Structures are given as structure tokens and as C-alpha cells.
Structure 1
Amino acid sequence: MDFFVCVNRLGNRITKRRRCVTKAGANHRVNKGESMSCFKQHYDGILTNKNNKMSAPSYYSKLEAPHYQQSLQFCCITLNESNKIRLIGGPPELASHLRTGINRSWPGKISAEQNYFGAHEFKMLGKPWLGSGPEHVPARRLALEIVRVMVKQGWNLVQSVDVSRKEMDKDSMFFETVDPNSVTGLDLQNVD
């Protein structure tokens, strides 16, 4: 099987049927053996075995394993539609702490709470997730308060991503139970 590799960019992955332009401007076709020998020359820390499979360097086995708590847990808080917060996968006592934080930081307070397919959902008066208008500053305070409450309860923000394809749904914040060292703020703008 033929492989196409780019010889002027050392970080590229060797893949099937990939064409890259070299410094001279021409495509080079090489076989798998040539590409693996080129790879071995440039990356001495990453080794290949007899079957040309990737394996970790030998010094990896001497590294100390990272320390994690025995009962590592994950949960997610989603910002939905224009005025909803959902706690997914968290312990039930987190809902009461979040309720207190929301009421402390959001001037409109909570209008309703419900179980949404296993998630605890808070519906707020007003529209904090629009990101504009007179509620944009309190909305940022609310988002920061959510993270602050989670940190006080021993949850660390791992990542905030938009995993929903719905237009009115916003970010999802993923938390894990570890000892946090610092808190990061977030901004609810549509553009960077």
C-alpha cells in the first residue's frame, strides 16, 4: 500500500493516500518501509516494534503515575435555551448549593425547578443567556457564581464546550471531583 508523506513538515502524521507538497513543490510517493525509517530518524523518543506498531518509549514505565482521588466523579452543568440551567450526573445535594448560588447572584431569581430526564433543571426569570442587554453583567456574575459554588463543593471545571446543535443551547461545563488550585472566569460573548 502506498503512503503520501510531506517531507518538509516533520509533525505530520503518516496516513493513507495523503498528498503533501514539499519544499520543491512536488508530491513524493513512498512506501510504508521508507516512511517508517524516516519517522524513526526524526522521532527517536517514540519507538516502533517489529510489526511497525507504535509503542511508548521505555522511560515511560519509570514515570510516576498521576495521583487521582479514589472515587473520581464527573458531572455536567448545561446552559439551555435562554434561561435554564441543568445539573446532569451530579449528586442531589449539589442542586441545593446551586439554588442558593443562583438566588444570591441572579436578580430575577428562580421561577421553576423540575426533573428533566434525570437532570435537575432550574428555570430563571429573565433571559441571562442572551449575552446582551441589561442582563449581560448579571449573567456573567451568575456563570461565575455557578463555577464558584462548584469549586467550594470540591468540583473542578475541566472543560467548557458547546456540544449541542440546538441554536438556543449554550455551553456545557464539565466538572470533576479533584482539589482545584485556581478558578477561571468565562465570558458569554458570541465572538472572540
Structure 2
Amino acid sequence: MFDRLKGEFHRQDDASSTAGSSTRPPPPAYDGPPPNARPTSTSKETNRPYERPEPTFRTNFGSVSLHMGDRIRLMGLPPEITAAIRSTLQQTWPNGIQDERGYHGSVEFKLRGYPWSPTGDDAIHARRVTRGIMATLYSHGWVLYISTDISRKPGDKDNLFFRHQDPPPAPREWFSCTFSKGDRIRLIDAPESVVQDMIRTLQGYIQTHRPYHVSGTYEIKLNGSPFAASGGETMVSRVLCLELFEVLERNGFTLYASIDQKYGGQHGTETDSWQMSRPVGWSPGAPVYHQ
């Protein structure tokens, strides 16, 4: 039964197709672009098609890496930025630049002394060097993209990658924070309001605090050894970090970079150095944006 009805349906369809074949217009022809053609639009003035321009946005990246005990290598940065960093090194490192050369596609500065394996006061100045480099790059629109360890070599340090922005971001002010000897926090060039707020916040953890003998530096000595702890004491350093972040936020600062910049021997046991920044002109109560 079903087959007979299906056959009648096809005969009726064929008959109607034949009857209309003499009057039915041919299907329209569509002359579309080839598969790989670029998209076009129509100009309102001339009603003529034109090709859309290729995108012009392009992001540039650059690299600053720390090597051995005394080298800085720049890659992907234009000559004017290299010149600005050269000036920054001369201002922030008391021993100055010993040599400059090209090195396998990079520009290498060799500093006098050993900023990445420092002794005494050089440890403070070495943090000013890396902070000065980041602040200089930031002022020219080169914003830190990532601080990362990409080497398994003993004694390796972080590689800093920067992304260029145009126009440059708004100016910022900076200070450094280091964790020393297992029980010390050193604030380098921090505003006095930050120092006093940190002392109040950490008073239950503090053994002593005083201005450090290097100008612009304040040292807080903590109870125990939270940065060289074991067992349950390891969580004290985490609590301290949470407290430090709250102090930073209350004062308009954010953590811009955490950098392994010191040679830690064969086992790489050094702590990071923190570099903080906030917008110039920030006032209490204003929002704080992480950058």
C-alpha cells in the first residue's frame, strides 16, 4: 500500500515539473568571491566596493635578563630604551658599568662588583638597580608582562619580559621590599606612612625595628625565622604576606613584580625581592588597581 502511494506521489511531482519547465526562469547565477578572497564593503560616496585594510595593531615585546653575578642583557628593546637603561644603571649602581658589548643578539652590560651575589650594602643597591630598570621601562610604556625562571642552570635568576604600550601608562612611584636572613623585612625607599603602617600591623610578630644604616632603608626583625621555617611555622610567612598585602592596599600600592635576582648557590634557596608601585598623586580612599 505504502509503495503504491509513494509511486503515485512521484508521478505527480514529475508531471508538475515537466509542465512548468517551459515557463520557469533559470536559477540566478551567483558570482561570489573565490574562497580566499579578502572581504569587501561598499563606499557610500561612490557605491563601489573596496577592500578592507589589514589590521595595523602590533604588540612589541622585550626582555631583560640577569646573568652570572654581574651581567644584564637586553633583547628586543630599541636603542633609545637601551640608552635610558644605561643611564639608570649609572645612577642606581654605585660601582658603575665596567663594560658594554653585543652578545648573541642582545646588549650586555657588565657591572663593576657583583649585584646578583652581593655582600653588605650592595644588597640594597642591587634592588634599586632592578627597580630602576622597571621604573624606567614603565615610564617609556614598557610594562612588565611576566617575571619567570626559564633556566635549570645552578644559580640562575629570573628573566623579565616586557610588553610595549602606547601611549605610556600614568606615572607611578616605587619602593622595594626584601626578605633577609630568615627573619628580616627591609623596606627600601618606602614612604614613611607605609613604614609606620607596617610596624603597627605586624607588631605582634616584631622583635625589633630600626632605620637600617643604608640611607632610605628600614629594617624590621621578626620573631623566630619565618623565612627559613619548617613544619607548622612555614604558615607564619604566609600570614605575614597576607598582612603585607593589606598594608600595601591601604596605602595605594600593589605588588608590581616578585623577582629572584640573587644567586642562591647550588640549591637556589634565596627569597624573591618585591617591587611595589602606586599612581603618582594617589590619596587615601581612592581605588587601588592591580597592574
Fold shared by both chains (TM-score > 0.5):
yes
Pick from 77, 80, 96: which aligns with 2:67? 80
Distance 2:120 2:154 in 1: 19
Partner of 1:93: 80
Which whole-Å CA distance do the structure 2 matches of 1:75 and 1:118 have between them? Answer: 12
Structure 1 residue 164: deviation in Å? 1.7
**Structure 1 segment 72-151 matched on structure 2, within 5 A:** 72-151=59-138
Aligned Cα root-mean-square deviation (Å): 2.1
Instruction: Please give the TM-score of this superposition, normalised by the length of structure 1.
Output: 0.59
Question: What does 1:15-34 align with in structure 2 at a 5 Å threshold?
Answer: none
Alpha-carbon distance, 1:186 to partner = 4.1
Asked if structure 2 preserves the Cα contact closer than 8 Å seen for 1:82 and 1:169, the reply is: no
The higher radius of gyration belongs to 2
Q: How many residues align?
A: 124
Kept in 2, the 8 Å contact 1:82–1:168? The answer is no
Out of 267, 271, 276, the position equivalent to 1:191 is 271
Structure 2 unpaired stretches of 5+: 1-55, 175-255, 263-269, 273-291
- Report the alpha carbon displacement of residue 89 of structure 1 after superposing the two structures with TM: 1.5
Q: What are the ranges of 5 or more consecutive residues in structure 1 without an aligned counterpart?
A: 1-68
In structure 2, what residue type is equivalent to 1:160? Answer: S
What percent identity do the matched residue pairs reach?
34
**TM-score of the pair, normalised by structure 2:** 0.40
Matched-pair contact (CA < 8 Å) for 1:144–1:185: no
One of 161, 164, 168 as aligned partner of 1:174: 161
Q: 1:99 to 1:146 in 2, by over 3 A?
A: same
1:155 corresponds to 2:235 = no
**Secondary structure, aligned partner of 1:94:** helix
SS in 2 for 1:85: strand
Offset of 1:88 from its aligned partner?
A: 1.1
Shift of 1:180: 3.8
Distance 1:158 1:180 in 2: 14
Offset at 1:152?
1.2
